[in-house]
Chains A and B, each alone.
Chain A
């Protein structure tokens, strides 16, 4: 019989012979230097404990596993079977314990920080969860700041992320489905949903898509998104990403499916609505009147972020009759000294901003501040003083860039559209900008993810849900509404 190897091992059953099992493991894992195999005797029966160095906690494994096992005495002339039954029925040793009969399960558990106990003469192994690898502690989410919400964010370890969700939704209807995905890396993915409010067809569809992903590894949530997003040909996305457990729980309660991925702190929520990019958890912590004001500021900021530089270029170049006399003279005197066409100026300013932003993200934190200073000096002061760029244009671009920080979830789309509209405005004025706006609008309205139009509840119009779009609905009304995604007009997740 051929020995299992690294390509053919998943469904191979383990042997009764300890020697054979050890030999098979070494063959599968290629004698990896971090593989620890410790052989010992329990009542003269050969056993061995296998684990990966660095994945387990020395303290746990010593106190919980090694000490009890090495001191174990079952009976005089105890057989392998007796020892196995004794350990199985009378010794818990670890909360997270499993029985493995195939090498695929054993390898997966070993690589998840389990220690596996083989007993000579038994074709079943014990796996004990004694994880002790270094993990990042729970900290404030780096990409989604807020004022009054929780300061906890998901972490790379999916089990800890699960606990953050479980603590917030203490309901037996909250379900976690764990299964490994990808052909090579077997990354753990947790499908999360509320069983009483999610359409099960949606769960099945997502499960099927995850199982058929032709990826070798998942190193970030961005790897998985294209396979889950039915709107992959669109400019916008039908899935959202969050680092916050509170936001994640809020969306799960609305009847969506969440995805926690091991190795990344960013969870995916399906489906997602476009209007949710403008809603934050802080809206529900503030007084309603202030929340409404802030929400409308975000809507305005979105349009300013995309259109302000383009509209400025278009109006000054093609439609100066819009301005009143005083403003026209001011702008004309400012633009008179600039050597380049306005559209080119705007393009250069925005391009330089993107370069500085990207540099600030990639640089080590110790020198990141220097980039901001240098960028501000070069672009903000020197360029204007030299007369290369005009002040009003710089002001328009600065307002646009600042406004884009208000809606970080749409940063990719805002940045791209900003460049496109500047070019369109520079070529054909407000006509070109209108064409781009129309194209973007129709593209956005065509999106539908798992039966949920992305533009809901604006279009298709759902009057009750619009209360939370135009204003911030009060908690008493929210409690009676029982809002879920499925209740929106035009949503049909059963198709």
Chain B
């Protein structure tokens, strides 16, 4: 992948927007009550902070290091990362497709809309990491305005009585932690994109963790406080928060938030297609139109599960679970770091 340069701020905002995209389909009560979710998210963030240490220390991505020091291992790592990103992108697309079908286009063929979205994402992915990073800065402000409007409209409905703590069991806590980890695929992307950053302040990655923690915890609290037990019944609680918190002159404002979700979807998918294309370049050096090939693979995956009616979640939970995130963000970069240090030590000894 050609090395491009963006600033840390742009990278962090880009990954932050990716997290916002997954937040759209976030169901806080899927794994338990609010207390479990809050604690689970906090623990998940702490785990991410630890597993990011090798990424912060490494100057390059794990696959680049492994390819230089031990090529077979590097190729294997690249294939694993590629598989993860393709499945992660497919998962995001399937969820977005379900989201569109459930809330906006119940009768239309959503596969067509997803196909159009993918074409646009291929183009955006081909424009490079700088374009996506700069776009994320603009979209971030749009998101802030949307959240501010949501907060302002929801304020009268805020009821602290809805915020009650339930007993926490280890099993439910463990599930909540894994669930949150599996939604943080952008951490794996950080391990790749850090090499594009021109500054040396890689500790800025922890700023991303802090921002995500604040966002997720804040949104969870808001959903519970405003919607109460209704949040357990709705499929998309974050969207419902926007719907019923509309301004006076609007009846329902969920369609307006579709703008934010769609633009963040474009950024999210374009970013992962771009990363997948870069990995394909490392594995299949002579391949052309890599971004399009990645998009075709993703679309093919989506089509298979959509047309056959199979549930993608079990496949995703196996291949892209929290364990996968820990392995790809922590273990592989740690392995690359150890190999890199060992090779450097051997060279020094030889010298």
Contacts and interface: CB of A to CB of B under 8 A. Distances in A.
Interface of A: 315, 318-319, 321-325, 327-328, 428-431, 433-435, 437-439, 441-443, 445-446, 448, 453, 455, 458-461, 489-490
Contact of A442 (B10, B105, B270): B270
Nearest to B141: A458
What 9 pairs across the A-B complex have the smallest Cβ distances? Answer: A446-B131, A434-B262, A445-B134, A459-B137, A459-B134, A319-B255, A438-B266, A446-B127, A442-B124
A442 B132 contact: yes
A421 B200 CA distance: 42
Contact of B266 (A324, A442, A445, A459): A442
B258 A431 contact: yes
A489 B137 CA distance: 14
Nearest to A324: B251
A24 B100 CA distance: 78
Contacts of B135: 438, 441-442, 445, 459
A19 B48 CA distance: 91
A34 B9 CA distance: 65
A430 B256 CA distance: 8
6 contacts: A437-B263, A438-B135, A445-B135, A455-B134, A459-B135, A489-B7
Interface stretch (B39-47, B62-70, B113-121, B314-322): B113-121
Contacts of B251: 321-325, 328
B104 interface: yes
A430 B7 contact: no
Contacts of B133: 445, 459
B138 interface: yes
Contact of A431 (B123, B138, B262): B262
B109 to A, nearest CB: 11
Contacts of A458: 137-138
Nearest to B108: A428
Contacts of B113: 428, 431
A322 B255 contact: yes
A441 B139 contact: yes
Interface in B252-285: 252-253, 255-256, 258-259, 262-263, 266-267, 270
A428 B108 CA distance: 9
Given A322-B253, A439-B124, A459-B133, 12 more contacts: A321-B255, A325-B251, A430-B258, A431-B258, A435-B262, A441-B139, A442-B123, A442-B127, A442-B132, A442-B267, A453-B134, A461-B9
B252 A322 contact: yes
Chain B interface size, as a band, is: 35 or more
B249 interface: yes
Nearest to A433: B259
A446 B130 contact: yes
A429 B104 contact: yes
A323 to B, nearest CB: 6
B161 interface: no
Contacts of B137: 458-461
Nearest to B139: A441
Contacts of B104: 318-319, 429, 431
Contact of B131 (A315, A323, A442): A442
A376 B86 CA distance: 55
Contacts of B266: 435, 438-439, 442
Given A431-B113, A458-B137, A443 B259 contact: no
Contacts of A323: 250-251
A490 B138 CA distance: 15
Contacts of B128: 446
Given A321-B255, A438-B120, A441-B138, A431 B127 contact: no
A460 B138 contact: no
B281 to A, nearest CB: 19
A489 B6 CA distance: 11
A232 to B, nearest CB: 15
A430 B127 CA distance: 24
Nearest to B243: A321
A459 B138 contact: yes
A397 B138 CA distance: 27
Contacts of A328: 251
Given A438-B120, A438-B266, A460 B249 contact: no
A211 B251 CA distance: 61
Which one of A321, A322, A445, A489 has the greatest number of beta carbons of chain B within 10 Å? A445
B249 A315 contact: no
A478 B250 CA distance: 42
Contacts of B267: 438, 442
Given A324-B250, A324-B251, A435-B117, A430 B134 contact: no
Nearest to A461: B137
Given A428-B113, A439-B124, A448 B249 contact: no
A437 B267 CA distance: 12
A458 B13 CA distance: 14
A441 B263 contact: yes
A312 to B, nearest CB: 13
B124 A431 contact: no
A301 B193 CA distance: 37
Interface centre among A448, A455, A490 (most CB of B within 10 A): A490
